[in-house]
Amino acid sequence: MLEFTLEYRRLINVITEDRSTELRKFEMSNEEWEIAGQLYDILRIFNNATLYFSRSMPSLPMIIPAMNIINEHLTDHSLDEQYLPCIRITIGLTKKTLNCYYNEMNQLNVYRITIVLYPSHKLAYFKNAGWKQE
């Protein structure tokens, strides 16, 4: 939806700036368009993860690596000064939520076991990710 809105920004502006319709109240300011564009950049990774795990054969061993990719993405963007403060604050809150999920997963060994048993990961995943040996 956000992608569509950004793609058709010019047309949406033409429609909402017409004073003869009641759509004027939906006209977006330049700052609102900037927020929409920045949100799209941030949210795209969640859409990609959703599509990946919605396929016919989702894989439990891929959850931690996917969460790590999302975490790196959020960390990089939270430090990027090009994003508005409201976006960076939202990213920080999102990382806090992601950390809650990490903590829940740490209570269950099943995630680590599935990664170790997964042929392309094994123990190398944890070594490459910088996890401490337990």
Using one digit for the tens of pLDDT, what is the confidence trace for 64-73?
Answer: 888 889 999 9
Output the pLDDT for position 134: 65
User: Which residues constitute the domain of residue 21?
Assistant: 1-129
Structural domain tally of the chain? 1
Q: Is residue 97 part of a domain?
A: yes
CB atoms within 10 A of CB 49: 17
Low-confidence residues of the chain, pLDDT below 70? 58, 134
CA separation, residue 127 to residues 47, 64, 89 (Å)? 28, 14, 32
Q: What distance in Å separates the CA atoms of residue 115 and residue 108, rounded to the nearest whole number?
A: 13
Structure pTM?
0.74
Q: Is residue 25 part of a domain?
A: yes
Output the pLDDT for position 58: 63
Q: Is residue 134 part of a domain?
A: no
